[in-house]
Amino acid sequence: MNALQLAEYIRAGKADARLNSLYGKNLERQRARYANACEKFAELYGADKDAFVFSVPGRSEISGNHTDHNKGKVLAGAIDLDIIAVAAKTDDGLVRVRSEGYSEDRIDLSDIAEPKKENFFKSRGLIAGVCAGLKNTGHEICSFCAYTTNDVHKGSGLSSSAAFEVMIGNIINHLANGGTIPNPEIAKISQFAENVYFGKPCGLMDQTACAVGGFVAIDFADPTKPVIEPLEFDLSGKGYSLCIVNTGGNHADLNDDYASVPAEMKAIAAYYGKDALRGLTEENLIADMPVLRKTAGDRAIMRAMHFVAENKRVEAQTAALRAGDLDGFFAGVIASGNSSFKYLQNVYTVKNVAEQGLSLALCVTEYITKGWGGAFRVHGGGFAGTIQAFIPTDKVDEYKGVMDSVFGEGACAALKVRPEGAIIVEL
């Protein structure tokens, strides 16, 4: 079907069963969202070619704060907020992507061999990087045009950039490779794009969670072959909801803050002749602190200590989830949040200490949830953006009311874990 035929098919309700299975709520909104995207694609790129619809979820980091980039362990979950794309294969040698609210990005596939500094921290850098990464690893690439609309908003802490780059790989996987590239490989190629063509050091957790889907434990001891363990756990069945509170800070100007975390951790690792902290113990670090304070600095040591302890917490929380031990899991969430605030120090940026939205959100959450049970922590990369709170379902409206009053209407969202990762949506 062409894009206009797809839109008509969706508006007629013929895709409702598939949309229900993906989202489970707000069917009318999703029906309109998909149909509008198809119509916008036709307006931009015409209705003379077969078009396809794709979806990639955002992610919530459940535990393992800033561990993935040093071969650590994480818990993560794909969420029911996603980016969707309507795309069609072309033969003009160009990749053209128009994202809702932005101007078109255009990449010439004959000019992607090397990263360009003028594309750093721009979406066209991600597009070029994914195309180059696919080509470098022996996969087919193709020119295409696409229109995207994204519920994983920039600065939300739900990995909008990872979802976007995985989407580019997802589109090419299906348009040029018959969907044969495993999603974990698309995640690795997306990480390459972000590191090399976008200019931002990052680990592999965000891309893996977005690409693979579900609730997963991931061990990055060998980053080229991460061990991914799906976990069967029904949070809602235990009477709790996953709430994400967007404090309004934007990640756009915090690249230096993010980059400092892996850089400082790797500076500690380098003292031991290693490229990552994995394998070091607290005893190693304490024994060598007099030297490490001089070579790497106090903050780097504390960040390394956080890493070692956080890996242990992920192991304990994974075991707790397997056993259905909610209290044990929540204890790990609280401990992770405390360590992030005190030792990792990614709850606010020292560039602007007057603005501490994350600190304030954690403070308010601790106050109003006393006696409720549950847990809360900084969410994702930190420095600005979001916190995560596990709230009793019967208290969500009360919690949301308070957080929205502080941070603005709609700041608090109750989410669910989505079992599917990067997909072509078979309508």
What pLDDT score was predicted for residue 172?
Answer: 99
Do residues 227 and 248 share a domain? no
pLDDT value for 425: 98
Same domain, 182 and 271: no
Burial of 234: CB neighbours in 10 Å, binned 0-12, 13-18, 19+ = exposed
Task: Tell me, yes or no, whether 222 and 309 share the same domain.
Answer: no
For the stretch 221-268, pLDDT in tens is 998 888 988 888 888 889 999 999 999 876 558 889 999 999 999 999
CA distance linking residue 303 with residue 315, whole number of Å: 19
Q: What pLDDT was estimated at residue 103?
A: 96
CA distance 194 to 207: 10
294-347 per-position pLDDT tens digit: 999 999 999 999 999 999 999 999 999 999 999 999 999 999 999 999 999 999
Angle at 386 between CA 254 and CA 148, to 5 degrees: 80
Which residue range forms the structural domain that includes residue 167?
Answer: 3-231+418-424
Q: Both 227 and 240 in a single domain?
A: no
Per-residue HEC secondary structure of 404-426 comes to HHHHCCCCEEEECECCCCCEECC
Please state, in angstroms and rounded to a whole number, the distance separating the CA atoms of residues 283 and 296: 17
Q: Identify the pLDDT of residue 201.
A: 78
Q: How far apart are CA 20 and CA 26, in angstroms?
A: 9
Q: Are residues 187 and 127 in the same domain?
A: yes
Same domain, yes or no: 297 and 410: yes
User: Are 141 and 269 in a shared domain?
Assistant: no
Q: 121 and 156: one domain? A: yes
**AA identity, residue 246:** N
* Cα Rg of the chain (Å, integer): 21
Note the pLDDT of residue 156: 57
CATH number at residue 310: 3.30.70.890
Confidence (pLDDT) at 287 = 98
367 and 407 housed in the same domain: yes
Residues 180 and 322 in one domain: no
Predicted pLDDT at 133: 98
Q: How many domains does the chain have?
A: 2
152 and 32 co-located in one domain: yes
Which token pair is 224? 């080229």
75 phi/psi in degrees, rounded to 5: -115, 135
> Is the same domain home to 225 and 286?
no
Please write down the HEC assignment for all residues of 120-181.
Answer: CCCHHHHHHHHHHHHHHCCCCCCCEEEEEEECCCCCCCCCHHHHHHHHHHHHHHHHHCCCCC
- All residue ranges of the chain with pLDDT < 70 are 153-159, 250-252
The CATH number linked to 219 is 3.30.230.10
